[in-house]
Chain A
Amino acid sequence: MYRYDEFDHDFVKARVAEFSDQVQRRLAGEITEDQFRPLRLMNGVYLQLHAYMLRIAVPYGTLNSRQLRMLGHIARKYDKGYGHFTTRQNIQFNWPALSDIPAILADLASVEMHAIQTSGNCIRNVTADHFAGAAADEVADPRPYAEILRQWSSVHPEFSYLPRKFKIAVTGAERDRAAIQTHDIGLHLKKNAAGELGFAVYVGGGQGRTPMVAKKIRDFLPEAELLSYCTAILRVYNLYGRRDNKYKARIKILVHETGVEEITRQIEAEWQELKDAELKLPDADIQAINAYFAPPALPDRPEGDAQVKQARLDSKSFSEWLDQNVITHRHPDYAAVTISLKGIGEVPGDASDSQMEAVADIAEKYAFDELRVSHEQNLILPHVARADLKAVHDALVEIDLATANSNLISDIISCPGLDYCALATARSIPVAQEISRRFASLERQREIGELKLKISGCINACGHHHVGHIGILGVEKKGSELYQVTLGGSADENTSVGEIIGRGFSSEEITDAIEQIVDTYLGLRLNPSERFIDAYRRVGPAPFKEALYAGETKAA
């Protein structure tokens, strides 16, 4: 993985010193809250309901065990013994004292981490496929390009005060696991007919109160022009993006209001001025960054096949975990493992200090010291020898992280909601927990098959409800929590925005409603291989509306 060079170390160290001084001046009353707020936000410090919240960047979701161990240490020493992994592959701590934040940032810097640009109207943490570098279907590892974008976008003077925040995602496979079409810029790394690497470029995706699927504006951008083209996009956005209304300030609105054809013309015209010039990436630089992401040497371990076969016979729970949480690796003797942070009835994305440390130990012992955070709020061990899968499984059982529910209905994305968040209008975590408990039976979950359920506690859609096969949006209505259901969303290579199915449900009704939707699907699917999303796209909302509201005289 990427290692800080001298410049990176100096830069992060200088920022820690600068922000520490700002914190001290704030605590001493030398600067006001109005002056301090933008400074703390630039350093990932929010104020939530109960306390401050610190959001720490995990660049493109990649961590090593030393870093995860440090996150566990921070959870224990400065917080309440846990952290929350987010849908942007970051981690949040919910209880740090402002006076401790300089020490936390110094600890983070010691393991090459920081909280810079995890908030504010700038280019945020660039996200990537969590199986990058491991997946069998990958054309090339997207992370070197995410790292190039990170270096380019860090305190970029021209793009530090954009109309609104800006999110970029990169995938290196046809199958999109990074939800690129829901981002301001989505990049699909691929090869052209000549075998050269480049990107399909998508612009203007986003969720929030106005969900939009990104539009493809270029089918193939040579890799060397990554920065010149992204600069052209950001320039057009920075110039024409609305600043009069924060709800209309994202690039998706500009793309929508300008039209794809015209904005493509503007971007291409800007790019003509920039291409083949100083922003063109020299091949040597691309190779240098690529070298940081060279895969670990994976010795052949052919004994894995026989061992996995035997372990399957010995243990039903191992066999189920293998089926659900383990995917094919590009090396036949290896696999990529999803560590579910979605234990039945648990808080999606939360991990305790001791779990973080234990997972770090497992990664060090069995996974070449590599870890990933997925945007689906799970952890990933990207390279595990099949011969070690049983040992990894057993170690995960010890720390209650072996739930075999990846991609099933209890593998729920949920924002923190009103239990923590100052913006939330309803709770989301308790809804996730109750649904998880209702569908606790793994046998039943497997019978239902792949089902992406996503919950947000307000219209800002941090829980990605718009692109859930089943999405739940919590709102406040007449002083109570009300949950609106959308169906048919998806965040893969066939991204779609879900449709509101009808009137919302109270907190007492919502789990029954979800069960009714699932039962309706089970009753109408053509066969067990027709996934929920496929069946919904075939039949549309009518059967689900009928099941949910048939008894009512008036469905709003």
Chain B
Amino acid sequence: MKVLTANRLSDGIAVWYADGGWAETVSRADIAHDKAAEDRLEAIGAAAAANNEVVDVNLIDVTVINGVVEPVRLREKIRAAGPTIRTDIGKQASPAPARAA
């Protein structure tokens, strides 16, 4: 299973492709279950990069735990949450998942 992630051009904040836009949290990201879906996400990512919405676009491995998307690799877990040493900052500090277009 994979999801599409990038950093937003204007502020560099990590974002994940969800529901036709770029969300600031990974939890509801669109999941690709097969190669065809991965290709579709990659094409969306390439178009968004070409359209100067995001930079550094990547497909990353995820699992779903209790209906919530979670990255597999530690690097991506940290991107999704924020620095492990400062739980008062980053996405983990927000009480509710923020959504952004």
> Are A97 and B10 neighbours in the complex by a CB distance under 8 Å?
yes
Find out whether the CB atom of A419 lies under 8 angstroms from the CB atom of B78. yes
- With a cutoff of 8 Å between Cβ atoms, the chain A residues found around residue B90 in the complex are 50
Q: Which residue of A lies closest to B13 (CB)?
A: A51
User: A404–B83 Cα gap in the complex (Å)?
Assistant: 27
Range of interface residues on A (Cβ < 8 Å): 20 to 34
Question: Binary interface profile of B, 52-94, with partner A (CB < 8 Å = 1, else 0)?
Answer: 1001100000000000000011110011001111100110000
The chain B residue sitting closest to A481, CB to CB, is B74
Question: Interface centre among A50, A419, A429, A480, by most B CB within 10 Å?
Answer: A50
A29 near B51 with CB under 8 A, answer yes
Chain A nearest Cβ from B52, distance in angstroms: 4
CA A80 – CA B55 in complex, angstroms? 22
- Contact of A118 with B by CB under 8 A: no
Instruction: Judge if B12 is at the interface, Cβ distance under 8 Å.
Output: yes
Q: Which of A261-291 contact B (CB under 8 A)?
A: none
User: In whole angstroms, how far apart are the Cα atoms of A37 and B74 in the complex?
Assistant: 26
Contact between chains at B85 and A27 (CB < 8 Å) = no
A51-B7 contact, Cβ under 8 Å, with A33-B55, A433-B85 = yes
| Contact flags A66-87 to B (C-beta < 8 A → 1, else 0) | 0000000000000010000000
Q: Is A164's beta carbon under 8 Å from chain B?
A: no
A residues in contact with B78, CB < 8 Å: 49, 418-419, 427
Chain B interface bracket (under 10, 10 to 19, 20 to 34, 35 or more) = 20 to 34
Q: Report the Cα distance A52→B10, complex, angstroms.
A: 10
Residue of B nearest to A346 (CB): B85
CB closest chain-B residue, reference A53: B12
Complex CA distance for A480 and B74, rounded to whole angstroms = 8
- Indicate if B37 sits at the interface (CB-CB under 8 A): no
Chain B residues whose CB sits within 8 angstroms of the CB of A481 once the complex forms? 74
Q: B12 touching A430 by the CB < 8 A rule? A: no
* Interface pair B49/A33, CB less than 8 Å apart: yes
Determine if A52 and B84 form an interchain contact, defined as CB atoms under 8 angstroms apart: no
Decide yes or no whether A259 CB sits under 8 A from chain B. Answer: no
B79 lies within 8 A of A49 (CB)? yes
B34 in the interface (beta carbon within 8 A): no
Supply 28 A–B pairs (Cβ within 8 Å), ascending by A.
A26-B9, A27-B9, A27-B52, A33-B49, A33-B55, A47-B12, A48-B12, A49-B78, A52-B11, A80-B89, A95-B89, A97-B12, A98-B12, A99-B11, A347-B85, A347-B86, A418-B74, A418-B75, A419-B78, A419-B85, A420-B83, A424-B75, A427-B78, A427-B85, A429-B85, A430-B84, A479-B72, A479-B74
Chain B interfacial positions (CB closer than 8 Å to A): 7, 9-14, 49, 51-52, 55-56, 72-75, 78-79, 82-86, 89-90
A-B interface, 5 closest residue pairs, ranked by CB to CB distance from nearest: A97-B11, A52-B12, A29-B52, A51-B12, A419-B83
